[in-house]
Structure 1
Amino acid sequence: MPTRSLLAAAVLGAALVAPAASPSVGAPSVAAPSVAAPSVAVAGVPSERAAAARFAALERQYDARLGVVALEVDTGRVVAHRPDERFAFASTVKALQVGALLRTATEADLDRTVRWTEDDLVTYSPVTEQHVADGLTVRELADAAVRYSDNTAANLLFDELGGPAGLTAELRRIGDTTTTSVREEPDLNTAVPGDVRDTSTPRALARSLASYTLGCVLAPDRRAELVDLLVRNTTGDALVRAGAPDGWTVGDKTGSAAYGTRNDIAVAWPPAGSNRSPVVIAVLTSGDEADDPTHDALVADATRVTFAALGVGRAG
């Protein structure tokens, strides 16, 4: 096995083993057995130096902290900046919620109607606030949480998973020993520096997203269901999608919180006929003050730097 494939295994973990591709985006199969290998590498020393300098320049430009992990899964090329520093995960966790649910729920569970009251509604609930009278199925709540980042939907999904502790336990089962879910919406968005509650790292989020979308953690039909939700996400046009190469298909989940937190975790698939393979990317940002602004453009710019370091420009 080539060295870069060994690195891919180390970054993405044992869960990414011989998956079937998602038919909705034409992603090729990926094989990455679990092996001992260095945990971070970059696509060539010149690219590493250039990317490091450009990431540092972006941090100065936006007066923000930036964390990035991206991996081209077939080649094992990796780009990383602050890969193991903790950031508030904000609403990116909704993708992991749905991944966990799709692994554990039966079809009957997913088709069961859930009901709530006006008192259950929390801030930013564009879908669930319209369905207090009739409710939604668990599957429809997953759609609302991923595609519209509906916070009440996320809390109802927490109920299905046994709360934040249940989600954390499920993530531990797929090998994520880092991501720590403690609170529900909207409290999980306080993002106070140094508070490890409701945080993760770029590496852990990239690994868990890859496990659910490209790995064998989910059955093929469930994996395709999650990928479909991510690809049809309505909140990510200004983030990773804006910085990804032309013609690539991006499935993502965004997040925002206090202290300038603006995040996006994504899988990007190359155009049909390309000799490239999918890229898993996590871009996490934060500031120093509670009222620091969030920067969509920082996430998009970091994505451009990342793909350039992987040798993929805007022309794809």
Structure 2
Amino acid sequence: MTRLTTRTFSRLLGLTAAALVLTGCSAASEPTSERTATQTTTESPASAQVADRLAALEEQHDVTIGVSAVDAQGRLLEYRADDRFGYASTVKVFAAATLLAEKTPQERAKSVRWTQADIDAAGYSPVTSAHLERRLTLDELAEGAVRDSDNTAMNLVLRSVGGAEAVEKFLRTLGDDRTQLDSYEPDLNTVTPGKPANTTTPAAFRAALRVVLEKNALEPQERRTLLDWMSGNSTGDALIRAGLPAEWKVADKSGGSGGMRNDIGVVTGPGGQTVYLAVFTSTNDPEAEYDDVVVAEAARAVLAEYS
């Protein structure tokens, strides 16, 4: 997670006022661009309480929050879910999924070499820095990108699948028509007000993650592999995981840079219930640094609806 100075853009884009809905629509059939301004929804008093809590967090921390969540019964809970946010390192899970979808196990077992110059250019690279003297396989690099948010590993995975455009193309096959992936690390953390480059929406990433982990985008073994990598995420302890109800677990991918702090994942309750959740945050002061507690408290407020 490179700590770059990035421009906060959520409110600067002239976004509409946030509305949180809790509906009974079928999430299995929803495209990632499913919501429109005319969609009929049923709002409950509890969902209004969550909206109030998220609005209070925004006011308290001077941030903009975007949330999209859905459970196995299709109960959809959202707040600024169609607004654009920088995704930062959360996109690494989709780069890894692209690799798993498009390369055979034999191809992914190929060893890859990199240099200190690659590490210096990419920034945050704990795994590849520790293994500079020996090669890692593409699978090991993808695991390092997801578990440890290694930037050099991310760039090597991107190159192996055909670049950023290949990951964007893969996202389109998942139904995501919102995400725009334009850059390698560390430039994918750079966003510009009014420009869609290097941004997505909470709804798009939440829905795409569900397709990857539940549908036929990956073979069963590859789905299990990706879920295992996400379950070992070492950079998300203070995010969704910190806001979980007792005995709940999460497999997630975090991201953060400058004023952006995000987390996406699948949350599992003790009774087997599942919730797919994306939480995106952006400081309103372009010079301010992100605060993990905003993501944790937003997740706590949302997940209370499902526990």
Would you say same fold, with TM above 0.5? yes
Matched, 1:280 2:276: yes
Distance 1:5 1:277 in 2: 16
Q: Is the 8 A contact 1:11 1:40 kept in 2?
A: no
Distance 2:291 2:198 in 1: 20
Match of 2:302 in 1: 306
Shift of 1:9: 2.4
* CA shift in 2, pair 1:229/1:12, >3 Å: farther
* CA shift in 2, pair 1:40/1:262, >3 Å: farther
Shift of 1:153: 0.3
Which is worse superposed, 200-209 or 183-192?
183-192
Q: Deviation per CA, 1:258-299, whole angstroms, max 9, x where unpaired? A: 3x100000101111xx1x521000000012333212011000
Match of 2:285 in 1: 289
Match of 2:217 in 1: 217
TM-score, normalising length from structure 1? Answer: 0.84
Match of 2:17 in 1: none
* Structure 2 residues not aligned, in runs of 5+: 1-22
Counterpart residue type for residue 163 of structure 1: G
1:37-48 alignment, distance < 5 Å: 45-48=44-47
Sequence identity of aligned pairs in percent? 40
Match of 1:19 in 2: none
Match of 2:90 in 1: 92
Counterpart residue type for residue 90 of structure 2: T
Q: Is the 8 A contact 1:182 1:198 kept in 2?
A: yes
Distance 2:256 2:231 in 1: 19
Number of residue-to-residue matches in the alignment: 281
Q: Is the 8 A contact 1:41 1:77 kept in 2?
A: no
Counterpart residue type for residue 141 of structure 2: L
User: RMSD over aligned Cα, in angstroms?
Assistant: 2.1
Shift of 1:218: 1.0
TM-score, normalising length from structure 2? Answer: 0.86
Decide which of 28, 42, 47 is 1:9's aligned counterpart. Answer: 28
Q: Is the 8 A contact 2:50 2:302 kept in 1?
A: yes
Q: Is the 8 A contact 1:40 1:78 kept in 2?
A: no
Decide which of 112, 115, 118 is 2:116's aligned counterpart. Answer: 118
* CA shift in 2, pair 1:294/1:161, >3 Å: same
Q: Tell me which stretches of 4 or more aligned residues in structure 1 moved more than 4 Å.
A: 38-42
Match of 2:9 in 1: none
Match of 1:233 in 2: 233
Matched, 1:63 2:62: yes
Match of 1:265 in 2: 264
